[in-house]
Chain A
Amino acid sequence: MEQTIEQTKEYFYIALRNIRTRRLRSSLTVLGIVIGVFLIISLLSLSEGLKTTINQQLQAMGGEMVIVMPGGEEDILTSMMFGGAKLEKQDIEAIKKAKGVDKVLGYSYTGTIARYKDESKQIAMCGYDPWKEGLDILSIFQGWSLAEGRWPSKQNQILIGQYIANEIFSKKIKAGSEMVIKGKKFEVAGILNSLGSRQDDSMVYMDMKIYQDLTGEKRGTAAYAIVKLEQGADENAVKTEIEASLEKTRKRRAGTDVADFSVITSEKMGELVGTILGIIQIVIIGFASIAILVGGIGITNSMFTSVRERTKEIGIMKAIGAKNSAILSIFLIEAGIVGIFGGVGGLLLGSILAKAIDYYSQINPTFYFTTTISPWMIIFALIFSFSIGCLAGFFPARAAAKLKPVEALRRYE
């Protein structure tokens, strides 16, 4: 006879009763799983958050754009993080000459100190070349728009991001106010609407010439070049063109210390980030799995004790007609419930941590991070913890089911 749903319900009830009677031990076992799931959830939500953050940056970069940066493709992350080699004037000219290229926008940025009304803060400043034309491109293709003020037209005027205006300094910055960067006075001509990522909103934007005056960098160079493609041009085709063109100029300059360069399409960027995040996630899952494994061993251990403690009950149940499958079910359900409880607990703790990080990031401008808890993660955590519970409970449950009724009854007599 097959086990009916009603019987299963009854076994569930018995299992629940068993858990309740051994409250302390059950909760300790649950705690083991809670920690495991908590680790998984918090780590995954952090890495999901990392992904979201990076994707925001990528989105801000926009389609129909290609980025050229010095350094080989394998060093992209290094050059993105630490800067380093620069694109020379000839390089930028070469990019402009390539087929399919509409506009080239040189772009450099660095961290610096800015002063606003006696308050000095660390900010990032960024120069664009050409400045006027660049602003047109950025407003048309990247959706830049002013929240306040007007576009800069004079040499001492700058633009600032939403976040700088409202959050970084204790006093809000209004369009037209004065700001001091590296000892030079500037007028904040306009304040941009949010650009979609915290990093972009925390920048001061200016003409590359001013930027280079401030930093002392060589005229005509840029850290990256943002390339706007001609209408309908294929990303990959233009990439090849740019590479060929750059190759040619670089050969002409042979003998000088020529660094590598890379042309990155938005597609390529996405891939790259995907790979890195993939590795991070694998490492995270690896660590978390160890935690879960330990939790699972905890369940197994607790279930073995439970079977031992209840040997006599198992004997009684068998004597009054319980099949092996019934005993197996009861103990598996018990382990499964412990697993699920652990899963829910871990989920709660993990979510709390994630929310805490979000909150911290909101009140602390230099720490930019969002966390994400997706429904997928919740389902995964619950199914995972339930399965771990069942898996861990399987051997003890089978041991219980296999007990001979008479031996089980005789125990502890």
Chain B
Amino acid sequence: MEKPIIKLENVWKTYKLGKVDLNAIKGIDLEVFPGSFVTIMGASGSGKSTLLNIIGCLDTPTKGKVFLKNKDISMLSENQLSQLRGKTIGFIFQEFNLLPNLNALENVMLPMVFQGVPLEERKKRAKQLLISMHLGERIFHQPAELSGGERQRVAAARAFANNPELVIADEPTGNLDSTTGKKIMEVLTNFHKERGKTIIVVTHDPNIASYTEEIINIKDGEIIANHKQADKVLWNKQ
């Protein structure tokens, strides 16, 4: 059987709010396999963002284990983790999170800088990506000069820059109108279909979820398993 790209074992995340402990995630087990297109759905406050941060190795669990490509991330140094994350995972955020001081091209090139990709290669790849997102005319524009949809496409290009195996999108359409939102979802779908990459999208919007192949419902920090599967967590929409 194929190995999961990301695997969570009994993961808990507890926040201390004054003297009260708040369990954002309560013992989640989860496996995401290469080549899947997964939605994590849940209302706000359900713990889905926390879960996404842990899946994306941006945050560490209070308890439990996270394996990225079979590596226990708690065993990695912060630098090794940064390196692995930069190479393996691409992020798309609701707020776009482009660096305001850099233009579109530079923003897309940045993840490759951190991976030590040579300048010429970097430029070539970034240009190609932006052109494929129909942003060829915009490559030297600053984020402030771009529309929301354009910014999010730059962000998507950035997420794809290192050709990651996994792309994590946190409410990617949350700040966009439905037409531009649709475009972003198409971009993601294409990336998934053409390159066979794994994509995890967090959303509370069922329309968005409909693009994906699997849906994980989360509520109060737990996965609601309404559809039985081998590992009891995944629920196939068909």
Query: Which one of B98-106, B173-181, B205-213, B216-224 is at the A interface?
Result: B98-106
Q: Report Cα–Cα, A321/B90, bound state, in Å.
A: 9
B72-99 near A? 1/0 per residue, CB < 8 Å: 0000001100110111001101010111
Cβ contact within 8 Å between A321 and B87: yes
Nearest CB of chain B from residue A388's CB, rounded to whole Å: 25
Assess whether B58 is interfacial by the CB under 8 Å rule. yes
Cβ contact within 8 Å between B99 and A316: yes
Q: Which residues of B in the span 36-74 have a Cβ within 8 Å of any Cβ on A?
A: 53, 56, 58-59
Assess whether B22 is interfacial by the CB under 8 Å rule. no
Assess whether B236 is interfacial by the CB under 8 Å rule. no
8 Å CB contact of B53 from A316, A320, A326, A406: A406
- Cβ of A4: which chain B residues have Cβ within 8 Å of it? 116
- Given A1-B116, A413-B95: A321 touches B102 (CB 8 Å cut-off): no
Q: Which residues of A in the span 15-74 have a Cβ within 8 Å of any Cβ on B?
A: 17-18, 20-21
**Residues of chain B at interface, number, CB under 8 A:** 31
Assess whether B114 is interfacial by the CB under 8 Å rule. yes
- Cβ of B85: which chain A residues have Cβ within 8 Å of it? 319, 321
Cβ contact within 8 Å between B102 and A409: no
Residue of A nearest to B80 (CB): A323
Q: Which residues of A in the span 387-413 have a Cβ within 8 Å of any Cβ on B?
A: 404-406, 409, 413
- Cβ of A317: which chain B residues have Cβ within 8 Å of it? 99, 110, 114
Q: Report Cα–Cα, A371/B86, bound state, in Å.
A: 56
Q: Report Cα–Cα, A389/B236, bound state, in Å.
A: 57
Assess whether A322 is interfacial by the CB under 8 Å rule. yes
Cβ contact within 8 Å between A320 and B101: no
Cβ contact within 8 Å between A405 and B86: no
Assess whether B115 is interfacial by the CB under 8 Å rule. yes
- Given A313-B99, A409-B58: A320 touches B79 (CB 8 Å cut-off): no
Q: Report Cα–Cα, A14/B101, bound state, in Å.
A: 8
Cβ contact within 8 Å between B162 and A321: yes
Cβ contact within 8 Å between A319 and B58: yes
Residue of B nearest to A409 (CB): B58
Assess whether B158 is interfacial by the CB under 8 Å rule. yes
Cβ contact within 8 Å between B116 and A324: no
Cβ contact within 8 Å between A326 and B114: yes
Nearest CB of chain B from residue A330's CB, rounded to whole Å: 11
Cβ contact within 8 Å between B116 and A321: no
Cβ contact within 8 Å between B111 and A321: yes
8 Å CB contact of B101 from A7, A18, A312, A319: A18
Cβ contact within 8 Å between A6 and B119: yes
Residue of B nearest to A408 (CB): B58
Assess whether B18 is interfacial by the CB under 8 Å rule. no
Assess whether A318 is interfacial by the CB under 8 Å rule. yes
8 Å CB contact of A318 from B82, B95, B102: B82
Cβ contact within 8 Å between B59 and A406: yes
Nearest CB of chain A from residue B182's CB, rounded to whole Å: 25
Cβ contact within 8 Å between B115 and A321: yes
8 Å CB contact of A321 from B83, B98, B118: B83
Assess whether A271 is interfacial by the CB under 8 Å rule. no
Q: Report Cα–Cα, A406/B114, bound state, in Å.
A: 18
8 Å CB contact of B86 from A313, A321, A409: A321
B172-212 near A? 1/0 per residue, CB < 8 Å: 00000000000000000000000000000000000000000
Assess whether B225 is interfacial by the CB under 8 Å rule. no
Assess whether B146 is interfacial by the CB under 8 Å rule. no
- Cβ of A215: which chain B residues have Cβ within 8 Å of it? none
- Cβ of A321: which chain B residues have Cβ within 8 Å of it? 82-83, 85-87, 111, 114-115, 162
Assess whether A10 is interfacial by the CB under 8 Å rule. yes
Q: Which residues of A in the span 317-338 have a Cβ within 8 Å of any Cβ on B?
A: 317-326
Nearest CB of chain B from residue A312's CB, rounded to whole Å: 7
Nearest CB of chain A from residue B59's CB, rounded to whole Å: 4
Cβ contact within 8 Å between A319 and B99: no
Assess whether B131 is interfacial by the CB under 8 Å rule. no
Q: Report Cα–Cα, A60/B111, bound state, in Å.
A: 68
Known: A319-B85, A406-B59. 12 other contacts (CB 8 A): A316-B97, A316-B98, A317-B110, A317-B114, A319-B56, A321-B85, A322-B82, A323-B79, A324-B78, A404-B58, A405-B59, A409-B93
Chain A residues with a Cβ under 8 A of chain B: 1, 4, 6-7, 10, 14, 17-18, 20-21, 312-313, 316-326, 404-406, 409, 413
